[in-house]
Structure 1
Amino acid sequence: MEIASSQKITTFLMFEGDAEEAMTFYVSLFDDAEVVHITRYGAGGPGKEGSVQHATFSLAGQQFMCVDSPAQHDFTFTPSMSLFVQCANEAEIDRLFAALAERGTELMPLGQYGFSPRFGWVNDRFGVSWQLNLPA
């Protein structure tokens, strides 16, 4: 007997001041994307007034959460956790890679790597890691 669960797992991105800029950038890259909800810190809150206390956005039907943490941390994003995007065609992979690599770091330039006819891996300007793949 299968028991229905209300549990849901959502990717959570923690920024230190540029959550809204990152979220807006990501939503601009994908067709089926939107900011679902955003709550901002007020004048008396622990975070900078107007910064993102909590936001939810979706990319291609997948929901993500993000915040601007008021606390400084000794860590940031790591490529060991990345967002993997199956691209529909060469134009899409080229467009996404160019946009995400701008002011970012290319970990694996777009190319043929044996496991894929066209693949690239990049850390974007916010430190989030993206793997872009064009399936065979």
Structure 2
Amino acid sequence: MKISNQKITTFLTFTGQAEEAMNFYTSLFDRSEIVSITRYGEEVPGKEGTVMQAVFSLNGQTFMCIDSPIEHEWTFTPAVSLFVTCETEEEIDRLFEELSKDGAVLMPLAEYPFSKKFGWVNDKFGVSWQLSLEK
């Protein structure tokens, strides 16, 4: 798969779950793959074998991620979310079900004044997703 020349790329900071998250996300979206993974080794500050930097794509959109070697109090927040326009009801229903497993539903999948079908979830890694059915 060809990587786009995006100037701005979403960068997700995990605390040991980066590879698991990438595998989960790429299993949900068409045209998705893990493009590259660089791992921490013995001579660097991160936990050996975890993700020092990775690139993955979801339906052609490029993302980057890391397993932070530094302990910090912050994590993901719904103030920044990934907005997905779904083409079919099957797609939005499937994504809502999978992304909400072991996560949290912020807005149930329903009709709203701004969308025929919309749902908002935090997944099991804490990443926030807004799902909307295309008009």
Decide: shared fold, TM above 0.5: yes
Aligned to 2:62: 63
TM-score (norm 2): 0.94
Q: What is the root-mean-square deviation in Å for CA atoms of aligned residues?
A: 1.1
| Bigger radius of gyration | 1
**CA deviations over 1:59-85 (Å, ceiling 9, x no partner):** 111100000001011100111110000
- Report how many residues are paired: 131
1:1-136 aligned within 5 A = 8-136=7-135
CA distance in 1, matches of 2:88, 2:62: 23
Q: For 2:94, give the aligned amino acid.
A: R
Q: Gapped runs of 5+ residues in structure 2?
A: none
Q: What SS does the corresponding residue of 1:46 show, helix, strand or coil? A: coil
**CA deviations over 1:22-51 (Å, ceiling 9, x no partner):** 011000001110101100001222111100
Structure 1 runs of 4+ with >3 Å offset: none
- Deviation of 1:114 after TM superposition, in Å, equals 1.2
Q: For 1:61, give the aligned amino acid.
A: G
CA distance in 1, matches of 2:123, 2:32: 18
TM-score (norm 1): 0.93
Q: Gapped runs of 5+ residues in structure 1?
A: 1-5
- Deviation of 1:7 after TM superposition, in Å, equals 7.5
**CA deviations over 1:7-27 (Å, ceiling 9, x no partner):** 811000000100000011000
